[in-house]
Structure 1
Amino acid sequence: MNSLSSIALSGMNAAQTSLNASAHNVANLATEGFKRQEAVQTEQPGGGVSTQVRQAEVAGPALETDVVTQLQAKHSFIANLAVFKTSNQMAGALLDIKA
């Protein structure tokens, strides 16, 4: 099993990748024939996620989807950051007790 910090870090990286893909989509709304990017997350054995970016099968904008994706990515990043910070605080407290 991976450490809590590495699991949280993979979640933060996945959120950043999702945010980047949706921002790319918004920036290219007016580009004719543009195919949106989608971030696909895959669960990893032992904890954490990996993320890959793929092109959507259908061309055209989906602004509503991209705005919702950006909000989800923001909240996911914040939640994983809280886990990361708490994990580090717990490790620091444990070291203080052991010292």
Structure 2
Amino acid sequence: MITTACHAPTEKRSHARFCRRNRRKVGAGLHGYVAMIPLSGSTSIITRSGMQAAAQRMQIAASNTANRHTDGFERRDAVQTASPDGGVQTRIVRSGASNDTIGAQLSDAIEARLATLDFAANAAAFRARNDAIGTLFDALA
């Protein structure tokens, strides 16, 4: 759904600056208003949930690493499942595995790297979607 909206700040001068800045990003709207696109499409839901899941996985790996030699700390893992509306849901679970082994260190390092790459891939898809929408507005303007 594409809507036109003008989120006018209180000062006239800052309103004009807002419109100029957003018109450049999104495309000119009708009658000087700025065309705004809500981030609620299925692509944005999928990429946003992917970025959130990757960030959670990175936090889990960091927590496991920071608590490597903490007595009583239980290693955590991320369990991801498909979301009914698209995307992914992440749950944090206690794994029960030992956190102070070489295998745990390697697992956390690999998981942190994979989470970083997953986040970057989802961010690139999100930017590509926004660029395509901007191109569409440029074509329609």
**TM-score normalised per structure 2:** 0.65
Please say if 1:34 is aligned against 2:73: yes
Aligned to 2:8: none
How far the C-alpha of 1:46 sits from its partner, in A, is: 4.0
Shift of 1:7: 0.9
Corresponding residue for residue 114 of structure 2: 72
Contact 2:64 2:99 in 1 (8 A): no
Question: With CA pairs under 8 Å and 6+ residues apart, which has the higher RCO, 1 or 2?
Answer: 1
Percent of aligned positions that are identical:
39
Shift of 1:34: 1.8
1:48 is matched with: 87
1:57 is aligned to 96
Determine the C-alpha separation between the residues in 1 that align with 2:48 and 2:114.
16
Are 1:83 and 2:122 matched, yes or no? no
Structure 1 segments unaligned to the other structure (5+ residues): none
CA contact (8 A) 1:34 1:59 kept: no
Aligned length: 98
**Which position in structure 1 is the counterpart of 2:53?**
14
TM-score (norm 1): 0.91
Q: Which has the higher strand share?
A: 1
Residues 75 and 99 in structure 2, CA contact (< 8 A), matched pair in contact too: yes
C-alpha deviation, 1:95, in angstroms: 1.5
CA distance in 2, matches of 1:59, 1:47: 34
SS state of the match for residue 108, structure 2?
A: helix
Superposed displacement of residue 11, structure 1: 0.4
Q: Partners in 2 of 1:20 and 1:34 — Cα distance?
A: 15
- Contact preservation (8 Å) 2:80, 2:88: yes
Structure 2 partner of 1:3 = 42
